[in-house]
Amino acid sequence: MSCSSSSASEEEDEGLDSYRKGGYHAVRVGDSFNGGRYIAQRKLGWGQFSTVWLGYDTQSSVYVAMKIQKSAPQFSQSALHEIEVLSAISDGDPSNSKCVVRLVDNFKHIGPNGQHLCMVLEFLGDSLLQLTRYNRYKGLELNQVKEICRCILIGLDYLHRELKLIHTDLKPENILLLSTINPSKDPIKSGMEPILEKPEGNVNGGTTMSFIEKKLKQRARRAAARISGRQENTRGVGATPKPPRSLEGIDLRCKIVDFGSACWGDKPLAEEIQTRQYRAPEVILQSGYSFPADMWSFACTAFELATGEMMFTPNLGQDYSEDEDHLASMMELLGKMPKKIAIGGAKSKDYFDKFGDLKRIRRIKYGSLDRLLVDKFSFSDSDAKEFAKFLVPILDFDPLKRPTAQQCLQHPWINVGV
């Protein structure tokens, strides 16, 4: 989950049963942390390991995002790793200009469920996933895509070249705008007065509030489902589609967040990294990964920003796996995988024969990225050609041939028309 998002996912509640020994810490609006320095304002979201709260820093008079980890030892261990990574990121970027989230503080908080490690991060806005949703899954204008891509590449160049860090889970959800799309959700733009003490009557604890929130959300979800069901029935019967919203005036500067699974370049932590749709071929084949795996995810993200759709959405077939469908989709778009790459991984024999052909998916319709951009997404020939010229090298099946973030920042496409 995006660790400092202003509107992290609350589509499902975290559940009351997780508020127990070893689990989440129950937070109430007005609760104070770290000797009274931070005051909880409202819940922003939750993840498997933590809840995230908007906090007010009384020392510097700014709003922050407080990530409060579950208290069981395995969660504390992962939090210590994330704190180590975030500290290195902040220490190496004193001017806060490298397009990566900033760690403000970290501390331990003792509650009824145990000792919780807490990270305080700068407060950021909505994710690029939320931006795409807001734009109704239409592609952004290419000059907007370039602006966002430049920020992501500045962040990746800093992580890879200066810190020797691999993010391992780059995707639109883990890149946050500096401010919220909706100004009323931004505590500063909305003129929100900070809560500095517990509101009267707020004595029953966060778990009671969570339960009430949960019931209200369930009711709202059911109502939304009924409405969308009615809309489904009217679709195509003269229903007038709403025009897409304009993104004018939205600050597109952004930062890379969520370093819970990041690793040092010389110490990969896990064999399987990355969210499925953004996973690099070397990760699927288990042939070893490094910084170029992040670059593959970056290219998938850039495509999604420009088209509104994911580049790869593999499916499980009757006689082939999701991994095989993923590899076949890559080849349909990018050409046949070189034999030495196809057979070079620990899992290659599961998918490829000795000639470097897929065992179970034989009929592959080869296409090209620029044709897809023209035929499916109505790009002009010149826009498609220039964008493909930028993306295709980053999607080289050979990780060693992919350009670095630093090289991508020098590419003509990223520097023209912004």
Active site residues: 169
Using only C-alpha atoms, the chain has a radius of gyration, in whole angstroms, of 23
The span from the CA of 273 to the CA of 150, in Å, is 24
Identify the DSSP state of 71: -
288: region left, alpha or beta (phi > 0 left; psi from -120 to 50 alpha): left
Please state whether beta strands 38-46 and 62-69 pair in parallel, antiparallel, or not at all (unpaired).
Answer: unpaired
Q: Is 70 annotated as a binding residue?
A: no
Parallel, antiparallel, or unpaired for β 50-57 and 254-256? Answer: unpaired
Burial of 277 (0-12, 13-18, 19+ CB in 10 A): middle
CA distance 408 to 413: 9
Cβ-based neighbour number of residue 310 at 10 Å: 17
CA 306 vs. chain centroid, Å, equals 17
Nearest Cα to Cα of residue 116 among 106, 125, 104, 128: 106
DSSP letter, residue 107: E
**Residue 261 · residue 273 · CB < 8 Å:** yes
* CA 220 to centroid of chain Cα atoms: 26
* Residue 62 half-sphere exposure toward CB, CA atoms < 13 A: 10
Give the 3-state secondary structure of residue 10: coil
Q: Is 325 helix (H, G, I), strand (E, B) or coil?
A: helix
Q: What secondary structure letter does DSSP report for 242?
A: P
- For CA atoms 146, 250, 131, 379, give the dihedral sign: negative
Q: Which residues pair with 191 in a beta bridge?
A: none
Annotated binding site: 67
Annotated binding site for ATP: 67
